[in-house]
């Protein structure tokens, strides 16, 4: 049976841990709000991009940009966005599982990985998948320039025939409790459809529609990758917040149980001491009479 | 008469409001957009972007991108950019000199040369945007 002092020490240690998890929970909550705001801020650009791309690609049907056709050679590539750190519940596991399953069903188990985030790189290492590039240690406020190399590597591999396709996987932020793994094809590209009949016929293109498309398509790929990273970061903070809240609650339960045990042990020792005193007094009384 | 205009970058929105005149540095040279301009899509080179509303001229530096003119709105999708008043002139000046020096050395590969030429263009255009803004403030 543990002594009272041992139990008290454990309570203190659980309480210290709880302070840390509670702090992490609050930090994650603050970061999540900022990450969500950044997802929102990127939306007008992405929407504008999609609209322009839809009108231009509807216009230049006869021109086949290399991004629009699948090369015959090369391996399928997975651009896997994960977090750098753990303590965020099953987030990475879910994304990786969904991505791996998708790749296996579509292309077999032989594929290459471009990892954004340490967890994805570790996964590729464990499964013996070749890693074309890995970007880790992104800041909480990633600039576009920090993410761009991942997109550049994916497009480069696709153009020089090393990649037959590129698939993008990340955790889409739905709400605090739901982060949904997303696995979407990135290359070859499927240009977005125009949402309504635009005045595409009457557009003036400078220098010409084809050159505009040449500039638009890579930019669109970069935008998608950047947005995936932002979504994933919002998801990471939400998952971390929930995980840390659970940890804080568990610590509470643990403290309550330990306090109960401590009280029982304390009560037992008081009872025992009383018994001893009473027993001793009885013995003395018996000896005197 | 005005047209609603919006300047967006991936990281957010730089400008959103009605304009009566817009000047941008397009692929084929400077172009001015007045309300009721014909629908147009063009790529933009790094350069100053001027947005005028109610006789007030506002300058931004745009690091390339796209400009879309629709009958009811104008959208600039900029790769990067900043308001002219936020430009760090000393830093741009330094970037320009650094690029000029590298180009003067002459022992560059084609890729490096292209990169430095672009850096020089960016720095020069950034300075130009800042200068336009400064002049606008005075006069």
Return the CATH number at A136: 3.40.1380.10
- Interface contact flag, B11 A204, Cβ < 8 Å: no
Cross-chain CB nearest to B71 (options A199, A209, A216):
A199
Predicted local distance difference test score (pLDDT) of residue B63: 92
Predicted local distance difference test score (pLDDT) of residue A198: 54
**Which pTM was predicted?**
0.85
Pair A47, A137 in one domain: yes
- Interface contact flag, B70 A199, Cβ < 8 Å: yes
Pair A191, A52 in one domain: yes
* CA of A6 vs chain B CAs: smallest distance (Å): 53
Would you list which residues of chain B are within 8 Å, Cβ to Cβ, of chain A? 6, 8-13, 26-28, 31, 38-43, 66, 68, 70-71, 75, 77, 79-80
- Interface contact flag, B68 A202, Cβ < 8 Å: no
What is the full DSSP assignment across B105-117?
A: H----HHHHHHHH
- Interface contact flag, A48 B41, Cβ < 8 Å: no
Pair A142, A263 in one domain: no
- CATH number for B86-138 (one of 1.10.150, 1.10.10, 3.30.1300, 1.20.5): it is 1.20.5
* Residue-range definition of the domain harbouring residue A129: 25-242
A-chain residue closest to B31, CA distance: A206
The CATH H-level superfamily of B3-84 is: F0F1 ATP synthase delta/epsilon subunit, N-terminal (2.60.15.10)
How far apart (Å, rounded) are the C-alpha atoms in residues A219 and B8?
A: 14
Pair A143, A263 in one domain: no
Q: Bridge-partner residues for A205, per DSSP?
A: B41
Res. A69: pLDDT tops 80: yes
CATH 2.60.15.10 occupies which residues in chain B? 3-84
Ordered mean pLDDT values, 10 residues apiece, chain B (139 residues) = 93 92 92 92 94 92 93 92 91 92 85 89 92 82
ipTM, 2 dp: 0.86
Question: Chains A and B: how many Cβ contacts under 8 Å?
Answer: 75
Count the Cβ atoms, other than its own, within 10 Å of residue A264: 13
B-chain residue closest to A225, CA distance: B10
Predicted local distance difference test score (pLDDT) of residue A194: 64
How many structural domains is chain A composed of? Answer: 2
A-chain residue closest to B68, CA distance: A52
Count the Cβ atoms, other than its own, within 10 Å of residue A71: 16
Pair A132, A17 in one domain: no
Task: Check which CATH number belongs to the domain holding A248 and give it.
Answer: 1.10.287.80
CA end-to-end span of chain B:
24
* CA of A40 vs chain B CAs: smallest distance (Å): 8
């Amino acid at each position: 049976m543990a002594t009272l002092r041992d139990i008290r020490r454990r309570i203190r240690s659980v309480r210290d841990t709880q302070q840390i998890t509670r702090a992490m929970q609050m930090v994650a909550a603050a970061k999540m709000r900022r990450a969500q705001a950044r997802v929102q801020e990127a939306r007008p650009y992405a929407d504008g991009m999609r609209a322009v791309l839809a009108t231009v690609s509807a216009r230049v049907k006869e021109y086949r940009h290399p991004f629009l056709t699948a090369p015959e050679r090369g391996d399928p590539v997975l651009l896997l966005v994960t977090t750098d750190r753990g303590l965020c519940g099953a987030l990475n596991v879910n994304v990786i599982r969904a991505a791996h399953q998708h790749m296996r069903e579509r292309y077999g188990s032989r594929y290459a990985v471009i990892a954004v985030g340490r967890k994805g790189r570790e996964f590729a290492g464990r499964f013996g998948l070749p890693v074309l590039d890995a970007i880790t240690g992104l800041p909480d406020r990633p600039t576009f320039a920090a993410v761009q190399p991942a997109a550049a590597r994916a497009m480069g591999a696709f153009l020089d025939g090393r990649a037959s396709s590129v698939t993008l996987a990340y955790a889409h932020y739905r709400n605090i409790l739901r982060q949904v793994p997303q696995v979407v094809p990135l290359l070859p590209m499927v240009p977005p459809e125009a949402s309504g009949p635009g005045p595409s016929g009457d557009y003036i293109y400078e220098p010409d529609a084809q050159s505009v498309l040449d500039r638009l398509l890579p930019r669109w790929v970069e935008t998608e990758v950047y947005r995936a990273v932002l979504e994933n970061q919002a998801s990471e903070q939400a998952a971390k917040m929930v995980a840390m809240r659970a940890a804080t609650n568990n610590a509470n339960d643990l403290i309550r149980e330990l306090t109960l045990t401590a009280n029982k042990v304390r009560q037992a020792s008081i009872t025992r001491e009383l018994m001893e005193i009473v027993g001793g007094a009885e013995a003395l009384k018996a000896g005197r009479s | 008469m005005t047209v609603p205009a919006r300047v967006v970058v991936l990281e957010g929105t730089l400008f959103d409001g009605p304009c009566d005149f817009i000047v941008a540095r397009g692929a084929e040279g400077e172009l001015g957009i007045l309300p009721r301009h014909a629908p147009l899509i063009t790529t933009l080179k790094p350069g100053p972007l001027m947005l005028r509303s109610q006789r007030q001229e506002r300058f931004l530096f745009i690091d390339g991108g796209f400009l879309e003119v629709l009958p009811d709105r104008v959208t600039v999708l900029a790769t990067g950019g900043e308001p002219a008043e936020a430009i760090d002139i000393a830093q741009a000046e330094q970037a320009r000199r650094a690029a000029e020096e590298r180009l003067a050395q002459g022992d560059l590969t084609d890729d490096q040369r292209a990169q430095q030429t672009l850096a020089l263009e960016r720095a020069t255009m950034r300075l130009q945007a800042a200068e336009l803004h400064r002049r606008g403030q005075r006069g």
